[in-house]
Amino acid sequence: MNQIEKLLEVMAKLRDPAGGCPWDLEQDYTTIAPHTIEEAYEVADAIERDDRRALCDELGDLLFQVVFHAQLASEEGAFSFDDVVRRLNDKMIRRHPHVFADACVSDSQAQTEAWEQQKAAERRATGASVMDDVPRSLPALRRADKIAKRAASVGFDWPDVTTVRAKVDEELGELDEAIAAGDQPGMEWEIGDLLCAVANLGRHLGVDNETVLQQSNNRFISRFRHMEENSSDHLSGFDLEQLERLWQKAKLAEKAQTSR
């Protein structure tokens, strides 16, 4: 028995009504989905920390999520783990004709474009919308990027950075109007539009919005910890001017660290 076969056997045993695990037996697609998302984030976290041991463990946990969903589907006669793997193999071969057939691509950018064209052709063949398979469960910023790229694939996009930058100013102006009017629903609406406009600006600048926002979050945490470590009292006892001085010191320390 190879390791995949053993894993499938373990999963089936966990779901066996006669002697299986009570927790596993209670689960369904809906209850397992949040764990699947969490495991994907833990894989990304291990990669960011450059921890290969953790990455091996987290990839295993993510694989288990795939096996769990496949077991649920197998029990209801929808599909099996083999079906999942077979469809994946077929898809990879179909979408890489430059490897498995006689098509040619010049570089990774050309391959990305060919990949998207292939996916678009598959959607057209089934009559699906360009937006049909954009996952609702994606983080909002990542989803905004994907939606904008799909719209751009049919020509619905700003022509250049200057025009999308102007859109950011336009959305800021509309937000200012909502704030001035004390319009709470309007403020929420305009904040959403502003965030989408900023995400589009990042896309036009070739920026991975999710990555740079995470980097900004990490910088904030690092600076804030520096403030805590270099204060003689709890930060809640400081006024805003004192906190700003600590913040500026943290930024200087960060700059000194990165310039080494």
Predicted TM-score (pTM) of the model is 0.67
Determine the Cα–Cα distance for residues 205 and 70; give it in Å rounded to an integer: 40
Output the CA–CA distances (angstroms, integers) from residue 118 to 91, 124, 127, 147, 179, in the order listed.
Answer: 10, 10, 14, 17, 45
In this predicted structure, what is the pLDDT of residue 69? Answer: 98
Block means of pLDDT (10 residues each) for the chain, 260 residues, are: 93 96 96 94 92 97 98 97 96 88 81 77 82 85 91 91 97 97 97 96 94 92 90 80 91 82
In this predicted structure, what is the pLDDT of residue 30? Answer: 95
The three-class DSSP label of residue 12 is helix
- Whose tokens are 């197998």? That residue is 74
In this predicted structure, what is the pLDDT of residue 260? Answer: 64
Structural domains of the chain sorted by starting position, each given as residue range(s) with its CATH number in brackets: 3-94 (1.10.287.1080), 129-207 (1.10.287.1080), 211-258 (no CATH)
Tokens of 97: 């004709």
DSSP annotation of 236 reads G
